[in-house]
Structures are given as C-alpha cells and as structure tokens.
Amino acid sequence: MRIQLRARTSTAAAVTGLLITAATAGVHAATPDQGERQRPRPTEAEIRDLFTEWNDAVLTGDPGEVADRYAADAVLEPTQSNQIRTDREGIVDYFEHFLAQDPSGEINESHVEILGPNAAVDSGAYTFHLTNPQTGEPFDVAARYTFVYERDARSGEWLIVNHHSSAMPEGRS
C-alpha cells in the first residue's frame, strides 16, 4: 500500500503556525494582514455560484478551461476514473475523456460551510446528464460531491483545491 501525503499552505495553517510559534516563544501572535481582515467572508450563495462557473467551463467542452478552475496543486478524485489527479496535466487528461460525453451538471442538494474569508466547502449531491459517445444515447449519473475552494492570494479568484466526486452507490440522487 502506498500512502502519499501532501502539504497545503493555507491561511488557516499559516495562522495556526504563527500562534504555535508565538505561544512557544512567549510573544504575541501576529494578526492577519490588513487586506485579509478587510476581506469579507463569502456568502453561501457566492460559494454555490462557483459550481455554476465550473459547470459553464464544462459546457465549453474545453478541458483546459475546466482545469483553469483548479489550483495548480489541486486534488481531483473524479467520478469516472479510479486515478486521483494531482496536477494540471492529470486534471486536463480526465476532462478530455469526461467532456467527450457532452456533460452538463445540476446540483440536487448543497451544503456550504464558510471556513473564513478565503476558504469554503460545498458538498452534496449532483446529477450529470451525459451522452454515450459511441451510441448517442443519453444517460444520467447521480453522484456525491465535495468542492473545497480557496481564494487565490494574488488574483482574489476562487479556485478548487480539492474536488471529490463519486457515483451514488444505489445509482440515484
């Protein structure tokens, strides 16, 4: 069994590190920079809208455009592949195959958790409407999903840092 561990730098981890360092050094912890304190927490609606933006990228049929929604070191655990994708090349490869099925997705159930001004999680259930490329027959895949988003520090753009999607075990939404 091979276990791969990956480190992610995030605002929460950085602040936690500062607090631990400050506590062990006997000094006061540094506070987040002025820009971060002034940045408002996103709303649940804003985070839910990120799926619409992602789905719009899917509808273009361009795997590069879909991959642009992901951070450079994002992890994708896709619905229709056993291979976990951990870089842009792998994410593009997955979407080259997935987009051949002319997908469009819709959220059936969404649960948003705002983690701070720069991080949020949206998880729930969605349905993908697909077309078999060989036969032209339409079919649906009901799946569970989790999108973990972080706001890029430079651009302010929300990016997917982790995306897990798995078909419903009972095949229904």
Q: Give the residues of the chain that fall short of pLDDT 70.
A: 1-37, 171-173
In sequence order, what E strands does 22-87 have?
70-77
Around Cβ 44, how many Cβ atoms within 10 Å?
A: 14
- Residue given tokens 């569970």 in the structure block: 144
Helix (H, G, I), strand (E, B) or coil at 63: helix
- Domains of the chain (ranges, CATH numbers): 9-38 (no CATH), 39-167 (3.10.450.50)
Using DSSP, state whether 61 is helix, strand or coil.
coil
| Strand segments (E) across the chain | 70-77, 104-116, 119-131, 138-151, 158-167
- pLDDT attached to residue 165: 97
Rg (CA), the chain: 18
Where b means 16+ CB within 10 Å and e means fewer, 4-20 reads eeeeeeebeeebeeeee
DSSP state of 69: T
Q: So what's the pLDDT on residue 96?
A: 97
Give the pairing of strands 138-151 and 104-116.
Answer: unpaired
pLDDT of residue 37: 55
pLDDT value at residue 17: 38
pLDDT at residue 39 in the model: 83
The reported pTM is: 0.78
Give residue 41's pLDDT. 95
**Which residues are CB-contacts of 132 (< 8 A; sequence separation ≥ 6)?**
101, 138, 139
Least Cα distance to 5 among 60, 56, 75 occurs for 75
Residue count of the chain, please give it.
Answer: 173
